[in-house]
């Protein structure tokens, strides 16, 4: 569980009482609870970035009742993944290959729903893989694409916990649910998890950068091309990704990227699909102030566009 300023993320209080957020007040600790899992024996823990948020203290509570202080190694808001470190030796999970998932195969969700059973055995729910490659519009600066959908019951408090296959391998990280009633926070059998292959990519990046200012803002959102979209844009192929949304005043917009542009290269590397674009960006270990060069197809012409990466706005 974590402790944070109770009003820190409330925009209502921010606009009327900005002096409360400059560090001159005594904060009242407020606990919030999520789940996580050890990915290595030397104490690295993965959870959702939205679980740790702006925590002032992070405690890892074990099933045997023991508690350990944890340090935040780094976090990636865009992918909603955070990496923690606990001192000691611990049993760890084994990752499965999320690219090999089959719709209909078993899915097992572990976690701590509603924070009811801290310092106790995790709750286990079972379902199936309902779908893969689910994409969502950006939410609070986070991008959820290629998500795993499952009907295994996931509730508040499960965020950050593992989603496993029948062999006990972690294939995803439980992240959010959809509810039928806006007033309800319970599961209706539509939950989503970040795929394990992306988790591993982001974790390696977080270990390398160690707190450097990499909360970069690009401000464009892309998707795979299909024959219909390619034809509507006059593009003679389905290789590449097309720009489906731009943030106002973002680095991408300032650099001249336009809706409907088709990106075929990033920093000289070919982009054939969304997976390519994601892998290239993750491998670049981009930081605030870096430049990124795009080659885009627009109305029959190839253009080169240089973006200057900015820090994600608060």
- Residues belonging to the active site: 50, 80, 159
What torsion, rounded to 10 degrees, do the Cα atoms 236, 241, 247, 253 define? -60
How far apart CA 195 and CA 170 sit, in angstroms, is 9
Whether 293 and 267 have beta carbons less than 8 Å apart is answered as yes
| CA dist list (Å): 228 to 99, 193, 308 | 25, 29, 32
Whether 215 and 240 have beta carbons less than 8 Å apart is answered as no
- Secondary structure (DSSP) of 127-140: EEEEEEEE----BT
Helix (H) or strand (E) holding 222: strand 220-224
Angle at 310 between CA 308 and CA 311, to 5 degrees: 160
Say which residue the tokens 């893989």 belong to: 129
Which of 163-175 are b and which e, b meaning 16 or more Cβ less than 10 Å from the residue's Cβ? bbbeeeebbbbbb
Cβ neighbours of 126 (radius 10 Å): 14
Mention every residue, 6+ apart, whose C-beta is less than 8 A from residue 56: 2, 3, 4, 5, 27, 29
């Amino acid at each position: 569980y974590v402790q944070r300023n109770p009003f820190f993320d409330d925009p209502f209080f921010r606009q009327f009482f900005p002096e409360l957020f400059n560090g001159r007040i005594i904060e009242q600790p407020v606990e919030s609870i999520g789940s996580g899992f050890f990915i290595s024996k030397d104490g690295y823990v993965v959870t959702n970035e939205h679980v740790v948020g702006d925590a002032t203290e992070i405690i890892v509570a074990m099933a045997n009742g023991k508690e350990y202080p944890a340090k935040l190694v780094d976090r990636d808001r865009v992918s909603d993944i955070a990496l923690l470190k606990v001192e000691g030796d611990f049993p760890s999970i084994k990752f499965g290959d999320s690219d090999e998932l089959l719709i209909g195969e078993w899915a097992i969700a572990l976690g701590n729903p509603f924070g009811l059973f801290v310092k106790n055995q995790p709750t286990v729910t079972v379902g199936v893989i309902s779908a893969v490659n689910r994409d969502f519009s950006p939410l609070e600066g986070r991008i959820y694409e290629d998500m795993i959908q499952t009907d295994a019951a996931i509730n508040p408090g499960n965020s950050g916990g593992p989603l496993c296959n029948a062999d006990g391998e972690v294939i995803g990280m439980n992240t959010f649910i959809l509810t039928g009633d806006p007033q309800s926070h319970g599961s209706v059998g539509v939950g989503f998890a970040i795929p394990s292959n992306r988790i591993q990519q982001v974790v390696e990046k977080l270990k390398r950068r160690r707190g450097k200012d990499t909360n970069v803002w690009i401000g464009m959102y892309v998707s795979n091309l299909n024959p219909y979209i390619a034809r509507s844009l006059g593009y003679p192929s389905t290789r590449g990704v097309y720009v489906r949304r731009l943030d106002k005043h973002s680095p991408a917009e300032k650099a001249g990227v336009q809706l409907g542009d088709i990106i075929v290269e990033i920093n000289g590397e070919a982009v054939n699909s969304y997976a390519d674009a994601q892998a290239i960006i993750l491998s670049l270990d981009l930081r605030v102030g870096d430049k990124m060069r795009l080659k885009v197809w627009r109305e029959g012409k190839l253009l080169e566009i240089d973006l200057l990466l900015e820090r994600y706005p608060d």
